[in-house]
Amino acid sequence: MGYDDTGSTGRRSEARGRRRRRPLRAATGAVALLALLGVLVLGGYAFYLQRTVANNIEHEDLMAEDESVITISPSLTGGNQPGQTDGGTGQGGGAGQGGAEGQGGAEGQDGAEGDGSTTAGEGVDAVDEDETAPIVGEDGQPLDTTGVEVTATTPSRSTDAGDAMNFLIIGSDSRDLSVERGRSDVIVLMHVNDERDRVDLVHFPRDLFVPIAGTGGSSKINAAYAYGGAPLLVQTLQPLVDVPIDHVVIVNFESFRSMTDAIGGVEVQVTEAGGGFDVGTQHMDGEQGLRFVRERYSLSQGDISRGERQMQFVKAIMLKALSRDTLTNPVRLANFVDAATTNLTVDQNLQVGEMRDLGFSMRDVRGGDIHFWQGPWNGIDMHPVAGSIVLMAPDQMTLLSEHLRTDTMESYADNVSPRSGFGG
């Protein structure tokens, strides 16, 4: 009987096949395990970042619900109180006597730098930079607004805007908002378009002279924050731009310093020399950045030029934060997130999950997608009581409002606001 090798050969071939497939299956399993570990690490890292944000940020009542009442009170202002100067308390809540006397001319030089033609009236007691400007009536005289109640309202949202969002960003020098409001040295409206691929930042000069909501008077726009905190500033800004402000964020100046240092410093395009900074690209650490954005007196257009510098610095931070050097470096990114959210206060309705989702939806935004504008203005003047003021350009403000309402900022242009003095 002959020997049939077919079965044994088949079994040996099958065995060899199994031996060949084992390493393949093992390799596939290893890759799958590594991929799973990678997902877990990334997920854990994302969870760590979210927990960091949740632990760092503070929630405050920065926005008033419709029909609620905002009571004007200067009790939490920074610097001197409204109506108070270094020399004492003024009359009727105005610029006061004593400390401010004789300062009108100096304030005029600061505000009118660029043409030198605007000076304060002789003998005028105008507030200086460290004072809160009073709210004045049509006759130019201070109004007593303490205790005045302002009813909150919100403009309607245009259907043309889709899911576009508007954030009010306030830069404050207060270290503890529960103790003092501090001064709103930076006021920026951030418009995020419906497609989440464009961001427009509109800087409103702190000395922009505007109607203060519910008071029947006008003052520098940062006086709204001084007298009624973020809620009154929201109510003052919304009628100018005629769009609802969705959220409010207050950033302490210390955050600018720590954010800058966390990402290894930034490259800033300086367009006007002054305060120890030359024109051109300058590398700045956090301390240098603070000096850069706070400088005012050596610049050609005072508060306007300072606003331009603030936007240059913010852009430098955003570009560095969105760069591969930051996004692909877990340690640097974690440090930046920690620094950015420490000393950060947001309104009561802005939750961490919404912040995360918005950030994810904007992950493809790069430097060329971020655009900066000045709040429309057409000159600098000296008010006999409020001091140096920036004059609003009403028609251009209306045009800005139309583009914000319809989410068409890509076609917005401002040929009204003066550009001289910026060096480019």
Q: What confidence score (pLDDT) does residue 31 get?
A: 59
* AA letter at 163: D
Q: Write out the H or E segment, with its range, that includes residue 248.
A: strand 247-252
Nearest Cα neighbor of 186 from 93, 256, 111 is 256
Q: What confidence score (pLDDT) does residue 112 get?
A: 35
- ∠ CA 41-339-366, nearest 5°, is 75
Dist CA 101 CA 94 (whole Å): 13
Q: What confidence score (pLDDT) does residue 144 get?
A: 93
Q: What confidence score (pLDDT) does residue 123 get?
A: 37
Strand ranges (E), 57-138: 58-60, 69-71, 84-85, 88-89
Dist CA 59 CA 355 (whole Å): 13
Q: Say if residues 74 and 226 touch (Cβ distance below 8 Å).
A: yes
Nearest Cα neighbor of 355 from 54, 151, 77 is 54
For domain 63-411, give the fold. Aminopeptidase (3.40.630)
Q: Say if residues 409 and 196 touch (Cβ distance below 8 Å).
A: no
Q: What confidence score (pLDDT) does residue 97 get?
A: 32
Any idea which residue has 């966390």 for tokens? 262
Dist CA 146 CA 377 (whole Å): 29
Query: How does DSSP assign 335-396, residue by residue?
Result: HHHHHHHTTEEEETT--HHHHHHHHHHTTT--GGGEEEEEPPEEEEEEETTTEEEEEE-HHH
Q: What confidence score (pLDDT) does residue 10 get?
A: 54
Task: At 131, list the tokens.
Answer: 């004072």
Dist CA 59 CA 37 (whole Å): 35
3-state SS assignment for residue 332: helix
Q: Are strands 370-374 and 184-192 parallel, antiparallel or unpaired?
A: unpaired
Q: What confidence score (pLDDT) does residue 177 get?
A: 52
- Please list the pLDDT of the chain residue by residue as tens digits (424 residues): 444 455 555 555 555 555 555 555 555 556 555 555 555 555 566 777 788 888 989 999 999 999 999 999 865 544 444 433 333 333 333 333 333 333 333 333 333 333 333 333 333 455 555 678 999 999 999 999 999 999 999 999 999 999 999 999 998 765 555 555 556 778 999 999 999 999 999 999 999 999 999 999 999 999 999 999 999 999 999 999 999 999 999 988 778 889 999 999 999 999 999 999 999 999 999 999 999 988 888 888 877 888 889 888 988 998 888 888 888 888 898 999 899 888 889 999 999 888 888 888 888 888 789 899 999 999 889 999 999 899 999 999 999 999 999 999 999 999 999 876 433 3
